[in-house]
Structure 1
């Protein structure tokens, strides 16, 4: 056992001791017997006397008795560490009492019933997209990892793909290549499927809307343990709420998506000097939105990294048009590196254009405002000032990600009736990413994000250009995401929650995520 595993083991033992001395025993000793019997187990199936307790220790003992090969503990060494640190940012690492890796819908159903019976808090992880602490991991609770849900099935008659919710987008794209098709998914191959239920921006969004707008159906396990289909014809209210409602209503196990034909694509990464050309790039972004974004096959993903004076911009043309006129405002700016080229397929492009994170800890936040060149320039200057604050933290990294949203993107999204309540006009989803090295700087890093977002929002509001929508996939932990969908949609989502989760399991036992009850 290595030193890191030893630390995890000690943390688990401490958690177990706390539970053993503090947990309230079941009010009736028959309760546990009856519950175990309902899932095909007996008291003799459990180790020691854990059947007398509620909480994570009992939950983990039951899950181990149910499926020992799918239940990991800190003393399982490499398996546990790989899952507990299965996030790209160390801010999301945690020490669950145990980790359960279901491989079937029945496993998920039993797990939810076990966790509800024992009153155990839990987290659900698809790909670990969010760096936010406790969003897809948990201390002193159970982590349900969907990593074994990696099935993929293409239906040629409907031109749809059904994908397990443990798949990363790179695997989905790679699978669909053989059919000459593509799903509307993540812009980075390592991002997981849960991106979709937060909205999901794609390189295809300019034409087809958000990732969630291209879902045909969800397979979801409810708080009761029942597995249901949510679609436009089956549980349509749940289907609507899941399209932006994240983990508020159940555990999504699979989804069926529309696919679209794709051939060669053009694109690649272009690198600029941020100190010299940050303002020029923001003006180019405005010009692109005014004119170039009318080419619905175009997309861009840009990181303006003030702290290292570099801009990493990825430009894409899904139709394979080389150096399209839409991106002329950006190509008029002097470049340091231009690696754009024609690719045989989309997977090759996104695998070839990855920006590595050079520090281990990250957080982020976002705000939204309407197209206005002068505002874009002034926001750029605010960021230049705010970026100086990262000198306060070790390894401080400050990266702005302006995401131009076209009217066509919003209109395509609105046509699919999701919960997001987007306004039909060009807007900029302005995301800020701050990175650093030491946990002692966590609070300071988040305060830098908040300071920047607050200043940008205040400026946009003063010019009547602020939009209240908060994009869940890029939101800071303090932001009221679901509430930003508007009071009518919030009330509708609460009604859906009351219908499908009447005891509030996903509001009280799943502490991570943006809640409808917050």
Structure 2
């Protein structure tokens, strides 16, 4: 009897919380609509814009939530109006640019206000200063295409479909070995603060806020509504993909290891990925494919990629005269970029030199491969990706003022893991496979002196705590969000 009363009380309490959340969301939506008008607010779940905003996520799991409304601001003033209304009502909210973050509630919300930046796509180029300015609603492919007409580009992501919020978490591109991370290119940011105030942050104005936004993540200190960044010259590339079958996994791992250790050409960039399908390995190891992306800023890479090109391969699409827009559109077999699945990331950071460093890529791959084989049937696909961090990249970052990661000198590397599970798994099955996947990643601890990569970290990994600047970031958080409004009303990285 007592247990039944307790369960009943818990159920009533949970229902009351959901009802209160819905009421706060509805109140905020009504206030925002009265200020911005019906054309900029979608309330009905049958509205085509609402449906698109709710379903267009890289992690399909985020599509199960039901915003009280979706707001489409056209300016920083509109964002300020929305934030003030959200704050007054006590509603939860989320900011959505590309919707690529897999972490729960980082760009999705249930019974609250979803602010979708798809209407904020203005972009410009100043030839006298070579500075580029853009709003957060475009993806990297659209930005690369726009600036290409000027013979310039901006530092962003490696895939065209990813949104601009990536830059706030660091942003790793094929040009990073030359120019540093995407956040290193920031010159001035327009920011809507948690209290609704619109301000600018740069090296000379709100410099502490500027520092926090250079790799400290979005949804933390404020909402960036305009980026002014240093553009870089762009020409034609030698680029393409090499596709190998499993028989050559050892040779590719050795090539990856040697590239991380010895490459000193900042124009040469590599990303290697091992991708495994859930299908049984019944014929020629075709359940796994190895894809290496080669990108060289110039027509002739010389011997930069020799270790990869001398390995027998199934497919080679590399060629000169490739535009940077085409580089960002390079095809990726079997990836979650094309899948409709519950996709999650986890990240590791590892030294290549020192005790055990030279064998680390193989160790990581072997543990991953054993896990993938053991868990066949419980995922759509899984992948392990190797991201070299060259000395030239860390030097370029430091030369531009550094960022919140304060990356130690390269060479070292990040390793990204992707788990794609089919939508609709029973909660206990989903939780078990996630826990097992996490244990597999944690079985090889990251180097304690290296920062985890925000863009591809799971929220429970607490990547900010791995930054040497963590205490400073905590202070900046308290300064700009003193009552924890962003901390409690939207998803994002925690500063506890």
Distance 1:205 1:186 in 2: 10
* Secondary structure of residue in 1 paired with 2:66: coil
Aligned to 2:133: 162
Question: What are the residue-to-residue correspondences of 1:233-382 with 2, within 5 Å?
Answer: 233-246=204-217, 247-273=219-245, 275-292=246-263, 294-307=264-277, 308-322=287-301, 324-355=302-333, 356-357=335-336, 358-371=339-352, 372-382=357-367
Distance 1:468 1:214 in 2: 22
Distance 2:430 2:321 in 1: 40
Q: 1:22 to 1:265 in 2, by over 3 A?
A: closer
Distance 2:18 2:214 in 1: 42
Question: What are the residue-to-residue correspondences of 1:203-214 with 2, within 5 Å?
Answer: 203-214=174-185
C-alpha offsets along residues 181-204 of structure 1, whole Å, 9 cap, x if unaligned?
Answer: 111111001111000000010110
Shift of 1:359: 4.8
Q: 1:147 to 1:137 in 2, by over 3 A?
A: same
Aligned to 1:130: 101
Aligned to 1:406: 390
Contact 1:74 1:81 in 2 (8 A): no
Distance 1:190 1:245 in 2: 22
Contact 1:19 1:56 in 2 (8 A): no
Match of 1:63 among 32, 54, 58: 32
Distance 1:300 1:20 in 2: 49
Shift of 1:128: 1.0
Distance 2:448 2:193 in 1: 36
Aligned to 2:479: 499
* Structure 1 unmatched runs, 5+: 1-17, 25-52
Distance 1:290 1:60 in 2: 54
Which structure's residues are more often helix, by fraction? Answer: 1
* Structure 2 unmatched runs, 5+: 1-14, 278-286
Contact 1:113 1:224 in 2 (8 A): yes
Q: TM-score, normalised by structure 2?
A: 0.88
Contact 1:243 1:419 in 2 (8 A): yes
Q: TM-score, normalised by structure 1?
A: 0.85
C-alpha offsets along residues 86-121 of structure 1, whole Å, 9 cap, x if unaligned?
Answer: 212202222111111111111100111001111111
Distance 1:258 1:111 in 2: 30
Distance 2:230 2:95 in 1: 25
C-alpha offsets along residues 346-387 of structure 1, whole Å, 9 cap, x if unaligned?
Answer: 112322434443452211101101013222222221112111
For this pair of structures, how many residues does the alignment match? 460
Shift of 1:424: 1.1
Contact 1:278 1:380 in 2 (8 A): no
Shift of 1:139: 0.8
Q: Which has the higher contact order (CA 8 A, sep 6+)?
A: 2
